[in-house]
Amino acid sequence: MGDVRGRFRDDLARHPAPPLGDLVQQSVVQGRRLRRQRRLAQFGAGGTALAMLLVIGLAAGPLNVGADDAGQPGGPNVVLPAGSADTTTPSPAEPSDGVVGGFEDGTDRDPFRSVPPTPSTTVIDTVRIGAGPDGELLTTTPQGALELLTRLLPKGKTSGYASLESSGTGPGMPSVQLYLDRGDGPGMLRLSIYRDRLGGDPAPGTVELTEVPDNCVQNKMVTVHHRAGLQVDLMISTCLIWDAKGTVPAPPVLSVKEAIEIAANPSWGTTLPAEYVISGTKRFPKLARSNG
C-alpha cells in the first residue's frame, strides 16, 4: 500500500498543482447560493416579488442563511422593481499602488464606495423571459454565444474573445469571455450558460446579483434564471486576464441593468438560432481557450 501511495506522490510531483487561490472562499459563495436556491424551492417560489421578499427576509432571520447579505449596501430586504437594479459604480477601479494585482489583492476596490467585506448573492429583480426563438436551432457553441453576446452588447469595440472551461457546463452550455471598450478602455465580460441541478431552481425570470469584492473577475455577476432550470451568468469584471499569473485592472463596462437585459434575452439556451451559430463559427474561427 505504501508503494502505491509513494507512486501517487511521485506522479503528483510530476504534475504540480496550481495555487488553491480563493477556492474555499468561492465554495462558501457557491454554497450559500445552493442553500438559498433550495430554500426558494422549499417555499415554492413562483417568481413573485412577495415570495422573494419572504426568502430574503428569512436569509436575515434566525436561520443564519445568507447572513452576509445583511451587511450589503441596499440591504437584503429590498426587492428592486424591474429596471432599478443599476448599482454598478461607473468609474474604473484604480490600484492603490499601481502594481498589477491578483484576484485577491483588493486593487479592484473602489475607494469611494463602501463594499461588503465578503461575497454576497441577492435576489434583486424579476424580469419577464420572453418566448424563445423560432426557426432552425443549433446546439449553442462558444462561437454562437459570442455572436449573440456581441449583438446584444451596447455600442463599443470588442476583442479578447475566448472560450472558458467550466465544470458546470455541458453540451450547449458554453462559457465565453470578451473585452468591450466603450471609450474608456477595455473591460472584461464573461458569460456562462449552465444548469445547476443542485437544490431547487428559482422561478424563470429571477435575477440575482453576486458581488465578490475581492475577486476582480467575478466582481459583479448577474444571474438570470431561464426556463427549465437554465441559468445565464454575466460577469462584470474589474480586470483583464493577461496571462496565467495575473490580471490588469480594468473598468466595469456594463451596468447591472444592462447586464440583466443581456442575460435575460430569451434567445439564450442550449440551442441558438442557426444564424448565430453559423455566423459565430465564421467570425470566431480560432477561438482562444482559457482556464481563467
Binding site for other proteins (CB under 8 A): 1-5, 7-8, 10-12, 14-15, 17-18, 20, 23-24, 26-35, 38, 64, 67, 165-170, 197-199, 291
Rank residues 29 and 262 by Cβ distance to other proteins and give the closer one: 29
User: Closest distance between other proteins and the C-beta of residue 174, in Å?
Assistant: 12
Contact 179, 231 (CB under 8 A): no
Rank residues 116 and 205 by Cβ distance to other proteins and give the closer one: 116
How many angstroms separate the CA atoms of 189 and 169, rounded?
A: 18
How many angstroms separate the CA atoms of 202 and 169, rounded?
A: 18
Rank residues 252 and 269 by Cβ distance to other proteins and give the closer one: 269
User: Closest distance between other proteins and the C-beta of residue 43, in Å?
Assistant: 16
User: Closest distance between other proteins and the C-beta of residue 178, in Å?
Assistant: 20
User: Closest distance between other proteins and the C-beta of residue 192, in Å?
Assistant: 12
Strands annotated E in the chain: 120-126, 137-139, 157-164, 175-181, 186-195, 206-211, 220-225, 230-236, 239-243, 246-249, 271-273, 288-290
In 3D space, the residue among 238, 222, 236 whose CA is nearest the CA of residue 106 turns out to be: 238
Beta bridge partners of 179: 159, 188
Contact 34, 199 (CB under 8 A): yes
User: Closest distance between other proteins and the C-beta of residue 180, in Å?
Assistant: 25
Rank residues 30 and 281 by Cβ distance to other proteins and give the closer one: 30
User: Closest distance between other proteins and the C-beta of residue 4, in Å?
Assistant: 4
Calculated CA dihedral for residues 96, 188, 104, 199, nearest 10 degrees:
150
Rank residues 26 and 158 by Cβ distance to other proteins and give the closer one: 26
How many angstroms separate the CA atoms of 201 and 224, rounded?
A: 11
Rank residues 32 and 225 by Cβ distance to other proteins and give the closer one: 32
